[in-house]
Chains A and B, each alone.
Chain A
Amino acid sequence: MSDAPKPRRRWLLYAPLGIAMAGSAGFYAMLRGLQSGSYDPRGVPSQLVGRTAPGFDLPPLESANLPALADADLRGVGRPFLVNFWASWCVPCIVEHPQLMHLARRGVPVFGINYKDRAPDAQTFLTRHGNPFRRLGRDEPGRVAIDWGVYGVPETYLLDKDGIVRWRWAGPVTPEVLEQDIGPLLRRYA
């Protein structure tokens, strides 16, 4: 007990310091990830990535004069495109709308699925903020959303030209998401 630690066990003295340093490095990486959005402990990874969209056939928003949306419309688009779940009552949807408008102006097909919304409210939203959608389906009961694994709005899916889901974003498409994720993905799957 009273002996000084044996020399070969000296390194053990540094173990607490090492553990603390490893812990801080991990914690720092976690905080950085939280900030940049690459680490989200509440995020639910999409089960659709790498697969085709589930079968569905949604009615149109009559007043918008846009074609309706069914799973058949997602095959043979010929270029990568987006499917966006949105609702007029969803505030982050207003935040992401300019980015969707920008993509639509650049010629990227954006298909919309209006989630649990009243038709007049959806129409008012499109009149006020502009319409980025080539096709628009109304999922008032929210059943198609469950088949896609949607757990909130907005959610955006990127599908390649063969209709295979390549990427899913849960949350608003901010200018950063547009630049750092969607831009490179559109080039990769072009």
Chain B
Amino acid sequence: MMGIFSALKRVVPKARSSRDAQASGLLGFAGLPAAPIRALGPRLCFVPLMLLLAVPAFAAVGTPEERLPDPAQEARAEAIGRQLRCLVCQNQSIEDSDADLARDLRRVVRERVAAGEDSTRVIDFVHARYGDFVLLRPPVNAVTALLWATPAIALGGGILAILLMRRRIAATPEPAPLTEAERTRLAELDETPRV
């Protein structure tokens, strides 16, 4: 679930630049010529659909005065904020949350970015206070080992199951050939006219 959502959200900043959108011709509904969508064929039709589903992420929560005047710094602050979990709502990043604490943390992040602090150090600042829980991408350690290993375990288990099934199919003996009596009976049945 989380993976799907964060994947969608990570798509959004790219689509925000209308130049990119125009170039790829995917945002026909945003006042651009609609023809390229048809030209792309049915297989790519799901892309605008996915963008449509991601619309809630387009709506920035913060008020304009919250944003940094420098667009490059604001983009960096947003990128940092998207990696930090809102501790009140817990399934949103602080960039997407309306909670008071999320707003405070957005302000902390922006102050530090405006002061020219390195992105990793800004994240470390919040991480030191709220622990692994605040990171939407948890670090690999003893507690999260199982979480990170799950895809490999699932894939390995699936491959093992397929191999075992194939071995079993290969080991199944061919059925014995039909006897003469059976063959005659089969021929009789075949010749019986169907009603």
Interface residues of A (CB under 8 A from B): 1, 42, 44-47, 116, 141-143, 146-149, 151-152
Contacts and interface: CB of A to CB of B under 8 A. Distances in A.
A168 to B, nearest CB: 12
A151 B172 contact: no
A115 to B, nearest CB: 10
Contacts of A44: 87, 130-131, 133-134
A77 B92 CA distance: 40
B133 A146 contact: no
B66 interface: no
Interface residues of B, number: 15
B128 interface: yes
Contacts of A151: 87-88, 101, 130
A136 to B, nearest CB: 21
A45 B104 CA distance: 20
Interface SS of chain A: helix, strand, loop or mixed? loop
B15 interface: no
B90 interface: yes
Interface of B: 87-88, 90, 100-101, 104-105, 108, 128-131, 133-134, 172
Given A1-B172, A44-B87, A149 B131 contact: yes
B91 to A, nearest CB: 10
B104 A146 contact: yes
14 contacts: A42-B90, A44-B130, A44-B131, A45-B131, A46-B131, A47-B128, A47-B131, A116-B100, A141-B104, A142-B101, A146-B101, A149-B130, A151-B101, A152-B101
B154 to A, nearest CB: 16
Contacts of A146: 101, 104-105, 108, 129
4 A-B pairs with the lowest CB-CB distances in the bound complex, closest first? A151-B87, A149-B129, A44-B133, A47-B131
Nearest to B85: A44
The interface centre, meaning the residue of A42, A147, A149 with most chain B CB atoms within 10 A of its CB, is A149
A47 B88 contact: no
